[in-house]
């Protein structure tokens, strides 16, 4: 199977998603799949530009792949017919926490929460690395969200690959 692993990143800023994407890609290749991490460079230094950044991701259509595994928000907003969501870091609620308590900030927060719920609802499957995130996602999107923890060692990636490729 040809699989894209989509994640967002703030260039030159620390973040776990790029490391998870690389490790997952290696595990998928070891299991016989073709896999490629697709990092979307986003800047989060102006919280009010977040809505525009989310819109940019939402307009992306990814083709030539059998499946897309997205590693959270706003990567989950990419368009693909067979999209799995695996929330490995805090989701839209954490992104929204940096928005100012102003009418514009409140509008941006509401818009991002609606978009997250919409794209979670459209995913083929949804997972979260923690029980807390899974519960928040269940409530936000009114759908089942399974807990799929980040593996602690290289051997544990086989179970993650089995789940994400079923």
pLDDT tens digits for range 60-93: 889 899 999 999 888 999 999 999 999 998 767 7
Q: What CATH number belongs to 2-164?
A: 3.40.50.2000
Residue-averaged pLDDT of the chain: 89
Q: How far apart are CA 113 and CA 117, in angstroms?
A: 6
Q: Does the pLDDT at position 162 exceed 80?
A: yes
Evaluate whether 82 touches 68 at the Cβ level (below 8 Å): yes
Q: Does the pLDDT at position 123 exceed 90?
A: yes
Each residue of 25-64: pLDDT tens digit?
999 999 999 999 999 988 766 767 888 888 889 888 898 9
SS3 of residue 70 by DSSP: strand
Q: Which residues contact 49 (CB under 8 A, 6 or more apart)?
A: 43
SS3 of residue 150 by DSSP: coil
Q: How far apart are CA 6 and CA 21, in angstroms?
A: 8
Tell me the pTM: 0.91
């Amino acid at each position: 199977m040809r699989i894209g692993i989509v994640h967002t990143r703030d260039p030159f800023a620390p973040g776990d998603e790029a490391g998870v994407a690389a490790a997952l890609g290696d595990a998928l290749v070891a299991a016989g799949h073709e896999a490629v991490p697709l990092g979307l460079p986003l800047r989060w230094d102006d919280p009010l530009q977040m809505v525009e950044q989310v819109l940019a991701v939402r307009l992306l259509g990814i083709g030539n792949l059998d499946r897309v595994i997205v590693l959270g928000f706003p990567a989950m907003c990419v368009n693909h017919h067979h999209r799995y969501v695996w929330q490995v870091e805090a989701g839209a609620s954490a992104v929204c926490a940096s928005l100012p308590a102003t009418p514009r900030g409140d509008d941006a927060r509401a818009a991002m929460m609606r978009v997250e719920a919409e794209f979670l609802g459209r995913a083929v499957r949804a997972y979260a690395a923690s029980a807390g995130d899974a519960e928040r996602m269940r409530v936000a999107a009114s759908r089942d969200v399974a807990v799929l923890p980040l593996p602690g060692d290289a051997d544990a990636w086989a179970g993650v690959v089995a789940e994400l490729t079923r």
